[in-house]
Amino acid sequence: MRKVFLMFVCCAGLVAADGIPEAQSGGEGTAKSNTTLAGTPFLQVKLYGGMRTLTGDERPYELRLIYSNGGSDRAYGDKFAETRGSGGLGLMSETSIQMPLHIGVGLDLQFGSFFMLGGSLGVGYNIPVITDQLWLQLKADLQYSFAYIGMGDVPVSSLRIKGTTIYGPELDVTTSFFMLRPEVNTYFRITGEVLLMAGVGYQLPTPSSKVEFVFSGKDYDDKNVSERLKHDSPNVNFQLDGVQVDKIKVTSKGIIFNVAIAIEI
């Protein structure tokens, strides 16, 4: 009998912790709440943005497109990807700042020296500084990102891809890599469910994967035609500073600053 009673108490506790009923308007009974017995929401959604450090590859480049008949066309320039001011935006769903353990998943967009889009998974720890008002967060995100370098117009009037001549051709280069981003963030409660965040972090990327080249343009009938060629294709020869390469040195390495609005749900 005692075992049955203890099992009942445990089950009741789990059900109660799942949510406290809240009164609905108009006297229509109660609805399940997202608040635990301790009054702590379980999740929050965060929209953030700020400064990023994206380093380009400023070596002179030449990309030669080689045809099966032995002919070729080439694209070239003084700087493959120029380093310039960069920023970022992101959206993350994470455990509430009021909970000790931080777990979050999100999407991260960075732009400037090049365009980068990735998905992230983060873990960390939340430390209360002022009860229900101010918190310090220590966390690290592991992110997998695709980098996209738009090279613009190829300096020839036409190219042949997929057996078709395209006019006004454009060239884009893509690659991908993993990145670790430790952060230190401060959360401050503005109103009941809204928090303001400010933080600093550092991006640590792994070496990039092999590059791919995307040629695109319009054919004689004004239809869009594109072709993706890998670095080891016999139809391309890619050189940086006169040396044939299969990887590029664009990277998301350096200090970042973020501000964010988080809403507990």
Beta carbons of 94 and 41 less than 8 angstroms apart: no
Domain boundaries of the chain, sorted by first residue = 1-37, 40-264
What's the pLDDT score for residue 156?
A: 65
Element (H, E) at 13: helix 2-18
pLDDT tens digits, one per residue of 215-235:
888 888 888 888 888 888 888
> How far are the Cα atoms of 112, 119, 259 from residue 254, in angstroms, in the given order?
14, 19, 17
Segment 135-145 mean pLDDT = 96
Closest C-alpha to 235, from 183, 162, 181: 162
With 90 as the cut, is the pLDDT of residue 182 above it? Answer: yes
Looking at CATH, the fold of the domain delimited by 40-264 is given as: Porin (2.40.160)
> How far are the Cα atoms of 35, 94, 101, 189, 197 from residue 192, in angstroms, in the given order?
13, 18, 21, 7, 15
What's the pLDDT score for residue 161?
A: 77
pLDDT tens digits, one per residue of 4-58:
333 333 433 433 344 444 445 455 544 444 444 456 788 999 999 999 988 888 8
Bridge partner residues of 187 (DSSP): 135, 197
DSSP state of 253: -
Which pTM does this prediction carry? 0.74
